[in-house]
Amino acid sequence: MTLDRRTLLGVGALAASAPALPRQGAVAPPDPGETIHLWPAGAPGGEGVTVTPIVPERSTDPAFHDRYAQYTTDPILTVFRPARPDGSALLLIPGGGYRYAVLDKEGHDVARVFAATGSTCFVLRYRLPADGWAAGPNAPLQDAQRALRLIRAKAADYGIDPARIASLGASAGGHLAGLLAARRDATYAAVDAADAASFRPDLNILLYPVVTLADPFAHVGSRTHLLGPSATPEQITAWSLDRMDWTGVAPTVLIHALDDAAVPPENSLQLLTTLRTAGVHSEAHLFQEGGHGFGIRLIAGKPAAVWPDLVRAFGRRSGWLNG
């Protein structure tokens, strides 16, 4: 028997909501119109920043967008409201090697899938470490912490349970989501009442994450754009997720493909060992194929396409989702 795409995705509703494959004459889905600016008075530490933001389009097919944001100076959240919200929220942190942040493949496309199943989704467009921000490598984490706090502070406005806010990070965005989960220190001075809220997620979803910055399994581009070309051994240790104290961190699920040549699966395996040692409620799913950066669209019809189903199942068992 030949399995169709709907069967391979596992859940009919999820398959129906997944971004369509490119086809002749198709039109890319419109962007949602709602955005939240993270820093009303401007992002902190920008006195030495001179970059000009760009958002290039890489797709040549009208069926889908494939954009990335580079040199961001005004970080934002793009909101995807579900037709029938279930009270859960998801902060999405796309990857891009800390050189840029992809907006569609690991942001908007994934948000549409989770919004279709009831989660209110927020895609983060964050600042980058090498653009002159005073906080340096902490600049993206400032944005992630501020974003989570704003979502929690605005929970009533979006019909969200403030105790059911997850983060999902992909690739270098997975490293940033890991920092958001494991780091306990606030990286900026409070700017308003929203900063009284906790920045710790209630569930962590790490999609082919950059974990170690040490050779031989490091993604060298992410390390270079985060810490510069001459990172010291002490810096590499301090910024490697598997070397951090994860005690007390919320439930965490890891998704990775074994044929990932950019960020080897050892990244997730090493973090899984750290999570187990710290007693974190955790789960890992390793797929034989998928490569790196697969998001949603690039694995349609393949076994790895079930990863959103697996995440939601883990979320139910971990209290992020009800029912």
- Cα separation, 74 vs 36, whole angstroms: 10
pLDDT at 323: 67
Strands 68-69 and 282-287, bridge-based pairing: unpaired
More confident of the two residues 10 and 304: 304
Q: What is the pLDDT of residues 144-162, one digit of tens each?
A: 999 999 999 999 999 999 9
Q: Do 314 and 251 form a contact (C-beta atoms < 8 A)?
A: yes
Predicted confidence band of residue 3 (pLDDT cuts 50, 70, 90): very low
Confidence of residue 27 (pLDDT cuts 50, 70, 90): confident
Could you tell me which of 53, 57, 76 has the C-alpha nearest to residue 66?
57
pLDDT above 50 for 2: no
Rg (CA), the chain: 18
pLDDT at 19: 38
E-only strand ranges, the chain: 35-37, 68-69, 76-80, 89-93, 101-102, 120-125, 165-170, 203-207, 252-257, 282-287
pLDDT band of 26, cuts 50, 70, 90: low
What pLDDT, in 10s, does the model give residues 45-64? 999 999 999 999 999 998 88
Dig out the tokens for 20 from the structure: 């369509």
Q: How far apart are CA 124 and CA 31, in angstroms?
A: 14
Inter-axis angle of helices 307-318 and 109-116, to 10 degrees? 50
Tokens describing residue 190:
């409070």
Task: Please give the pLDDT value at position 24.
Answer: 40
Residue 204 and residue 250 in contact, taking contact as beta carbons nearer than 8 Å: yes
Provide the mean pLDDT of the chain: 92
Instruction: Give the confidence band of 29 by pLDDT, cuts at 50, 70, 90.
Output: confident
| Chain centroid offset of residue 148 CA | 12
Please give the pLDDT value at position 33: 80
For residue 218, how many other CB atoms are within 10 A of its CB?
Answer: 20
Q: Which of 18-22, 98-102, 257-261, 265-269 has the lowest mean pLDDT?
A: 18-22
pLDDT at 35 over 90: yes
The whole-model pTM stands at 0.91
**Cβ atoms < 10 Å from Cβ of 238:** 14
Kindly give, in sequence order, each residue whose CB lies less than 8 Å from that of residue 279, ignoring residues fewer than 6 positions away: 247
Domains and CATH numbers, the chain: 46-318 (3.40.50.1820)
| 81 phi/psi in degrees, rounded to 5 | -90, 130
Alpha carbons 293 and 113: distance in angstroms, whole number: 16
In the chain, % of residues over pLDDT 70? 92
Alpha-carbon span 100 to 129, nearest angstrom: 10
> What is d(CA 108, CA 69) in angstroms, rounded to the nearest whole number?
13
Judged against a pLDDT cut of 50, whether residue 100 lies above it is answered with: yes
Candidates 122, 199, 189, 202; CA nearest to 161 is 202
Q: Which two tokens stand for residue 100?
A: 């840029």
Strands 35-37 and 76-80: antiparallel
Indicate if the pLDDT at residue 23 is higher than 60. no
Mean pLDDT, range 71-78, rounded to an integer: 98
- 195 φ, ψ (degrees, to nearest 5): -75, 0
Alpha-carbon span 291 to 302, nearest angstrom: 12
Separation between Cα atoms, residue 201 and residue 149, nearest integer Å: 9
Closest CA to 207 of 276, 318, 293: 293
Residue 319 burial class via C-beta count within 10 angstroms: exposed 0-12, middle 13-18, buried 19 and up: middle
